[in-house]
């Protein structure tokens, strides 16, 4: 038998596309139950998503937008970036702002001591919309067409904490929040993300109720399971597998482009939209019933108004 020369190093094996970086086979074996649970969860997710009909709307259906002005939050990457590209191709004037987080470390807070995810996804969007309301009313009056507010939520709103769906004790930094996060354990990032996405739907419903659909319409939507930079904080088996299976950002633009441009305004006002470019069926499979909780909506609006007072 011929031995390799001294100093020879065997090449490292090519990593498998599902290589999770475990240091030994026993570690992989111990993670098998979690892996199987992750695979089962993803199979259910895919069956639900892939069972939807294909998109009847494509960006080519968008009319000329040369007289339209559109503001996109989170427009520097992913879905927002692709959405901006399609709107610009149709002649729209597009303004971008750039803020987006998804399941960041649960200790992260805004400068105002608000949970980072809720502050970004809900407080910031609510405040911005409130500031824009006079301009939106003016636009509707001048053009004779309703202005449109499109809130990008997620199917993840169904992962909001048990109970009403928003645990207000978790929204502001302090001892009470720390205890709650500790109680939630590994579910904390999912709960915090879920209640922020539920918050998106609730504030969308609030703005839909504030005006008749000849002036301002407001709708919330789930863009689909999309591979975006928002998942930069994610890790572990679930995120690794999902990122292999999620749709590209171009697919995530379809429902919001449809809502913003060609969907009948009155028909989508106060509705929840789902992939691809349609109003969620009334069977409750897509929308958590807590999103229709008027008491929770009003409590959230009061909480938000208190937080933005003075700014």
**Banded pLDDT at 303 (limits 50, 70, 90):** very high
Query: What mean pLDDT comes out for the span 69-73?
Result: 96
Closest CA to 231 of 139, 134, 154, 126: 154
CATH classification for the domain delimited by 63-308, as one of 3.90.1720.10, 3.30.420.10, 1.10.3720.10, 3.40.50.720: 3.40.50.720
Catalytic residue among 68, 81, 139, 153: 153
- Each residue's pLDDT tens digit, 156-191: 999 999 999 999 999 999 999 999 999 999 999 999
- Each residue's pLDDT tens digit, 107-116: 999 999 999 9
Quote the pTM value.
0.81
Q: Catalytic residue at 197?
A: yes
Q: Catalytic residue at 154?
A: no
Listed by start position, the domains of the chain span 63-308
- Each residue's pLDDT tens digit, 278-298: 999 987 889 999 999 999 999
Angle between helices 124-143 and 188-210 (to 10 degrees): 30
Closest CA to 119 of 291, 262, 304, 263: 304
Q: Is the dihedral of CA 48, 257, 249, 240 positive or negative?
A: negative
Catalytic residue among 193, 196, 218, 242: 193
Instruction: Please check the confidence at residue 244 and state whether its pLDDT lies above 90.
Output: no
Please say whether the beta carbons of 248 and 165 come within 8 A.
no
Query: What mean pLDDT comes out for the span 225-238?
Result: 60
Output the pLDDT for position 164: 93
Please say whether the beta carbons of 231 and 102 come within 8 A.
yes
Please say whether the beta carbons of 253 and 134 come within 8 A.
no
Instruction: Please check the confidence at residue 26 and state whether its pLDDT lies above 60.
Output: no
Catalytic residue among 197, 211, 218, 242: 197
How high does pLDDT run on average in the chain?
85
């Amino acid at each position: 038998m011929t031995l390799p020369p001294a100093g020879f190093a065997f090449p490292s094996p090519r990593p498998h596309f599902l290589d999770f970086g475990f240091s030994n086979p026993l570690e992989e074996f111990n993670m098998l139950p979690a892996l199987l649970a992750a695979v089962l969860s993803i199979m259910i997710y895919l069956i639900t998503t892939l069972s939807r009909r294909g998109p009847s709307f494509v960006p080519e259906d968008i009319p000329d937008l040369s007289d339209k002005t559109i503001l996109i939050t989170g427009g520097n990457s992913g879905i927002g970036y692709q959405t901006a590209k399609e709107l610009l191709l149709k002649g729209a004037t597009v303004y971008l702002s750039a803020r987006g987080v998804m399941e960041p470390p649960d200790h992260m807070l805004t400068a105002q001591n608000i949970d980072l995810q809720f502050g970004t996804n809900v407080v910031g969007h609510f405040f911005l919309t409130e500031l824009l309301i006079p301009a939106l009313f003016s636009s509707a009056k001048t053009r004779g067409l309703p202005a449109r507010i499109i809130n990008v939520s997620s199917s993840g709103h169904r992962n909001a904490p048990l109970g009403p769906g928003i645990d207000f004790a978790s929204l502001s930094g302090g001892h009470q929040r720390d205890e709650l996060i500790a109680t939630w354990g590994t579910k904390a990032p999912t709960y915090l993300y879920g209640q922020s996405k539920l918050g998106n739907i609730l504030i969308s419903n609030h703005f839909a109720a504030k005006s008749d659909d000849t002036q301002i319409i407001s709708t919330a939507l789930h863009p689909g399971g999309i591979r975006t930079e928002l998942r930069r904080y994610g890790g572990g088996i679930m995120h690794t597998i999902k990122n292999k299976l999620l749709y590209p950002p171009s697919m995530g633009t379809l429902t919001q482009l449809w809502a913003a441009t060609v969907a009948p305004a009155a028909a989508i006002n106060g509705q929840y939209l789902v992939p691809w470019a349609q109003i969620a069926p009334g069977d409750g499979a897509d929308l958590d019933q807590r999103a229709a909780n008027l008491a929770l909506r009003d409590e959230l609006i009061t909480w938000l108004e208190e937080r933005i007072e003075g700014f």
